[in-house]
Amino acid sequence: MNWIIRENGFDKERIAANGNKFMIGNGYMGYRGTLDEFARSELTATIPAGLYDKVGDQWREPINAPNGLSTRIVCDGKPLSVLELEPLAHEQELDIRHGVHRRKTVYPAADGRTVTVESERFCSMERLHLLANRVSVTCSKPSELIITTGIDGQVWDINGPHLERMESAEQEDTLTLTGWTHELNMPVSVGHTLACLFGERRSLALDHFLGREIRLAAQAGETYTFVTYVSVFTGLDGEADCAAAAAEASREAAAAGYESLLAEHAARWERKWKLSDVRIEGDDEAQLALRYSLYQLHIIAPGHSEKLSIPARGLSGQVYKGAVFWDTEMFMLPFFLYTQPSIARNLMMYRVHTLDGARRKAAEYGYAGAFYAWESQETGDDACTLFNVNDVFTGRPMRTYFRDKQVHISADVAYGIWQYFIFTGDDSILLDGGAEAVLECARFFYSYAYYNPYRSRYEILDVTGPDEYHERVNNNAFTNAMAKRCLNIALEVLAYLQDKYPGLAKSLTAGGRIATEQLRDMHDRLYIPQPAEGSGVIEQFDRYFALEDVTLAQLKSRILNRHEYLGGGNGLATTTQILKQADVVLMLHLFKDEYSRGMKRSNWEYYEPRTEHGSSLSYCIYALVAADIGLSDWAYPYFKRTATIDLTGDSKQYVGDLYIGGTHPAANGGAWMAAVLGFAGLRFDGQAVTIAPSLPAAWRAVSFPLQLRGAGFIVTIETGQVRVEASEDNQAAMEFRIERRNDAGDRESAMVAPGQHMSFSYK
């Protein structure tokens, strides 16, 4: 059963972690994996994608819609809640194949009786506004039951409450509760239709709660089942009346019936898995963890809109302001490029739609072009504040330089847009604004860079790389390499446009905004830190090697408060070589063809002991580079740590006194990258597929589907053999190259035609 996530027993200390672990969602909204009787104190949340609000002078964050799945049961005067009554047995599970959450709890009652409560819910992949919940109650002896189910308007907020002017309505079995956001006066409506064939019912309209009360005399051994159909609409959906739309959608769902809705939802999931499932033979634990990682990506992917992307904590809550970071392009985009290119396009079109926000940010700092937001919300204006972390000793806000110095974000965006074009050949993304975005990112770097006349080179000074423990450094290796790639992409885009769309090329370079000669000059003379003679190690930034070289254990022995921030102006790591995550190792992954295996190994061995892995993005990169140099046994523990981060809940929960809990979609994407790009050694350059396997010892085989240039393939790797199966629907042949992981880099290649199956050998 490599599709079921299950936990037995109830532990109050696991409420927050399980809320993340057992999430359901569909890209339009996410619903935390809380229990039916939970409320805001247990972090219950329904998070619609893309709707933000600001209260007073606090951070903007996603809104949490009223909870339409609120259900409480009282048996013979005693509340049946795991928070108030210790259960005899409790099980919570998530079917990740079909996106279904289940719970089963057995409670003790008087005179040796028991009451069993079961529920099953899903967030429809077919009807994106719909949540459906089926609840059953069984008493071992006759009992008096009072069931309250409806919409709870008192929701968990970090910087809320975000909804005001609550209005309710009732029509037959359908209820609606609507609130409006403070900042934009945006309506948020929840519709609730109850399907129940037993008991005496009455309406309840309490403070912030709208629902039904069901009373019945339950017979021994009989199971009583009811279903709630809940729809969520917001002002972003373009409806003239959100409340009416929510009510209508709930009624339509009730008319269709639970089983029919579940069947169409499950069918949609089957189609998703057909495009993306990675099958591992010989390692059941890794199989479940990897599938769970892909499940997490599926439930937050914006398949319905190109104005949405994936926030750093998905749709699991309001942490990190619900903002989109560089994580999306670097760690999540590859999964969608290889499996669902239409979603990859949406992710990158989000950056096109937020280009004006990036321009405003560049102008704010006195630069040209587009400086993309470090924490991007719906407009692309930067939600990141200048004081992100509080000092745990004094309580004072600490100045950080995430917003203004992590300039690599613009290069990451250009890289993502170009990757989509290379993978798909779909130049509509360039014509629809992607080309302009790329050129504006290049303009930004041209205006930001410093020309050093003494060394006749361009340098990029005063930046913060992905390793946020070292702020305001010069010539960060990763940042410089990405800026150079951004300039190269801009030149490629201009060449492509001048060849095929000369009018567009002329308009994008008109008015002296940017010239090809300027881009080429900076590209050719931009300084990239080089490997040191003898060691082959690339210095992460200027004078990094001059910092105190302590072990991680030594650094941690100096910690006085377990939540203290190691970066910032005075953090313990700032004067040492201890890193949050290794920028250089990530650079070696992205530009793997430019460095030898020996050089990659030297840098891996140097930086790994000095990396604290304070970011969930870190482990997968070490897995990828280790696999790339043929050391799968080194890579495997990092893959496992990445793939299980949301299953175990073993991740950093605080930076200073700031709560940063939630799901980790970048790690989820990193797990797929480690398995497919790392262990399978998959690469695609737009023309040919390269596979260089280095499977972990426990894996007998791995198999995965690909969607490339409109063609479908299934790749299966076993010991010594690679099989490629091409779909009969493919329009053309694709070249596959099998690369041996030896110093010579020997290759075998062949064209795989539509409907053809081909085998290759490797050692």
Residues 550, 557: Cα–Cα separation, whole Å: 11
Residue 14 tokens, joined: 């696991």
Residue 28 tokens, joined: 């339009």
Residues 6 or more apart in contact with residue 588 via CB below 8 angstroms: 595, 599, 600, 603, 604, 625
Residue 348 tokens, joined: 């990158």
Three-state helix/strand/coil letters over 97-135: CCCEEEEEEEEECHHHCEEEEEEEEEECCCCCCEEEEEE
Alpha-carbon distance values, 500 to 431, 495, 508, 687 (Å):
11, 9, 14, 19
Residues 509, 426: Cα–Cα separation, whole Å: 22
Catalytic residue status for 468: yes
- Which of 543, 545, 546, 555 lies closest to 580, judged by CA? 555
Residues 177, 246: Cα–Cα separation, whole Å: 9
Residues 152, 174: Cα–Cα separation, whole Å: 15
Q: Which of the residues 37, 306, 375, 468 is marked catalytic?
A: 468
Widest distance between CA atoms in the chain: 90
Is there a contact between 136 and 225 (Cβ–Cβ < 8 Å)? yes
Residue 442 tokens, joined: 């290049």
Alpha-carbon distance values, 479 to 40, 411, 449, 459, 610 (Å):
41, 8, 11, 10, 20
Residues 6 or more apart in contact with residue 602 via CB below 8 angstroms: 531, 535, 536, 537
What residue type is assigned to position 592 of the chain? K
- Which of 427, 466, 186, 190 lies closest to 326, judged by CA? 466
Q: Please give the torsion angle defined by the CA atoms of residues 604, 609, 611 and 612, in that order, rounded to the nearest 10 degrees.
A: 150
Question: In b/e form, how buried is each residue of 505-536, taking b as 16+ CB within 10 angstroms?
Answer: beebbeeeebeeeebeebbeebbebebeeeeb
Residues 297, 310: Cα–Cα separation, whole Å: 9
Say if strands 721-726 and 711-718 run parallel, antiparallel, or are unpaired: antiparallel
**DSSP letters along 488-509, please?**
HHHHHHHHHHHHH-HHHHHHHH
Q: Is 518 helix (H, G, I), strand (E, B) or coil?
A: helix
- Helix axis angle for 355-364 and 341-353, nearest 10°, is 40
How many C-beta atoms lie closer than 10 Å to residue 204's C-beta? 14
Please measure the distance between the N-terminal and C-terminal CA atoms of the chain and give it in whole angstroms.
Answer: 32
Question: In b/e form, how buried is each residue of 420-445, taking b as 16+ CB within 10 angstroms?
Answer: bbebbebbebbebbbbbbbbbbbbbb
Q: Which helix (H) or strand (E) holds 302?
A: none
What residue type is assigned to position 275 of the chain? L
| Burial of residue 657 (number of CB atoms within 10 Å: 0-12, 13-18, 19+) | middle
Residues 306, 308: Cα–Cα separation, whole Å: 5
What residue type is assigned to position 706 of the chain? L
Residue 171 tokens, joined: 């029509």
Q: Please give the torsion angle defined by the CA atoms of residues 463, 469, 470 and 476, in that order, rounded to the nearest 10 degrees.
A: -60
Among all residues, which ones are annotated catalytic? Answer: 468
